[in-house]
Amino acid sequence: MKFTCPKNALVQAIQIVSKAVSSKPQMPILSGIYFNANENILELQATDYELGIACKIEAQIDEPGAIVLSGRYMQEVIRRLPGEEVRLEFNREEKIVNITSNTADFTLLSLPANEFPVIQPMTGNMNFTIRDNILRDLVKKTVFSCSNDEARPVFTGCLLDVNNSEVTMAATNTHRLSVKKEILDEFNGSIKIIIPAKVLNELLRIMVSEIPTNVKVNCSYNQISFSFDNVYLTSRLIEGQFPDYKRVIPPEFKTNVKIHTHDFLSAVDRVSLISRAGEYNIIRLNFSEGKVLISSNNPDIGKAEETVPVSIDGPDVTIAFNAKYVTDVLKNIDGEEFYFSLNQSLNPAAVKLENDDTFTYIVTPVRTAQ
């Protein structure tokens, strides 16, 4: 095996696939990145059996072949090489790889390529195509609401609910809920699957192209794949029954407050500095007389409060939340203004966008001593 390729392209490909390199591999081979050079295409792969990522780049292939190299060291070595091109040559007898770039020369040990579980394109029973900007928006506005508690796997992923042309993504940790809806161009059928948050976060990191492109999604009962540009990503799905999220959304709200997003987010961020050390990071919001008073109190540190002008339609409300549950959603929505919809101090509240009924965020308040 022998090839030459641009350093930047190789660095980017290694960065993409390395997210699937196992940090605690069941077998040594899973700590490596698989390189397959053939017909002027270099394909890189990595997998931990839960997540698999493949990436292809153009290269000058002088001798085709396949090898596996340490994911950790390849990432560090290639990134630091001094030249603009990288040349890699495999010595089959000694099972070593020689990597050269400009004045740098590295020799690395290889792992046996025939032991690597090569990622094969899956053939699911359901597939559809979605624009990358639409998929990005679905993920961005929901995935932050997933739970980190592995004891309840269902809540560590996002529900993808496709019903003909309507696609809905929902996520919850039982204290908050994000729901985002979009329309597919052409699709007939229905799917309900739970995709791990880890996978969706990797998609967000990889889908950075400014030119709109199609993403091909392929689903089976326990697996999903995403294919776009030069990247192929596959993952296991989470088994279980996702809760009926529609029942959590209150049918109506008595108080609707129009708020400037940046001003409110900045104020909550400042005031919560005091409460952040506490177990629940509690802030109190008092909506009255055309303003919201944001306050926090920590007996061991001190107090903080700040007011932000708002437009209130309905009765005054005083309510308390985990500050993180408020700032998380505001960091992931677009728009200069949003609506905070409320009922009473112990009833769930909603965050919505003006003239946009495709997104709803429900957050449960915290009971505090008066």
C-alpha separations of 349 from 192, 321, 326, 356 in Å = 26, 10, 11, 17
pLDDT digits (tens, 9 = 90+) for 147-178: 999 999 999 999 999 988 899 999 999 999 99
Closest CA to 171 of 329, 53, 302, 315: 329
Residue 256 lies in a domain: yes
Does residue 136 have a pLDDT over 70?
yes
Nearest CA-CA partner of 88 in 75, 101, 98: 98
Residues in Cβ contact with 170 at an 8 Å cutoff, skipping those fewer than 6 apart: 142, 158, 159, 161, 177, 178, 179, 180, 242, 245
Nearest partner of 250 among 181, 179, 325, judged by Cα: 179
pLDDT band at 300 (very low <50, low <70, confident <90, very high): confident
pLDDT band at 124 (very low <50, low <70, confident <90, very high): confident
- Residue 326: Cβ-neighbour burial (10 angstroms; 0-12, 13-18, 19+): buried
Q: Tell whether 197 is covered by a domain.
A: yes
Enclosing domain of residue 290: 250-363
For 59-109, strand residue ranges (E) read 60-63, 65-70, 85-91, 96-101, 104-109
Is there a domain that residue 319 lies in? yes
104 shares its domain with 163 = no
Looking at the structure, do residues 239 and 194 belong to the same domain, yes or no? Answer: yes
Looking at the 3D structure of the chain, how many domains does it have? 3
**Please, which pLDDT band fits residue 369 given cuts at 50, 70 and 90?**
low
Q: 298 and 240 in one domain?
A: no
Domain-embedded: residue 121: no
Q: Are residues 329 and 255 in the same domain?
A: yes
pLDDT computed for residue 370 by the predictor: 53
Is residue 108 a part of any domain in this protein? Answer: yes
The last residue of one of the domains, among 74, 96, 115, is: 115
Does any domain span residue 301? yes
At 183, give phi and psi (nearest 5°).
-115, 130
Over residues 182-210, mean pLDDT: 90
Q: Are residues 69 and 141 in the same domain?
A: no
Mean pLDDT confidence for 199-205: 95
* 130 and 242 housed in the same domain: yes
Same-domain pairing of 304 and 238: no
Half-sphere exposure of 146 (CA within 13 A, CB side): 28
Tokens of 13: 């490909």
First to last CA, the chain: 72
Picking from 3, 256, 258, 216, the residue whose alpha carbon sits closest to that of residue 123 is 216
User: Which residue among 224, 246, 268 closes a domain?
Assistant: 246
Residues 101, 141: one domain? Answer: no
**Is residue 84 pLDDT above 90, yes or no?**
yes
SS3 78: helix
Domain assignment present for residue 369? The answer is no
Looking at 246, 278, 309, the residue that finishes a domain is 246
Q: Which residues pair with 320 in a beta bridge?
A: 284
Taking all residues of the chain, what is their mean pLDDT, rounded to a whole number? Answer: 94
Task: Mark whether 242 and 254 lie in a shared domain.
Answer: no
CATH code for the domain in which residue 306 is found: 3.10.150.10
Q: Is the pLDDT of residue 193 over 60?
A: yes
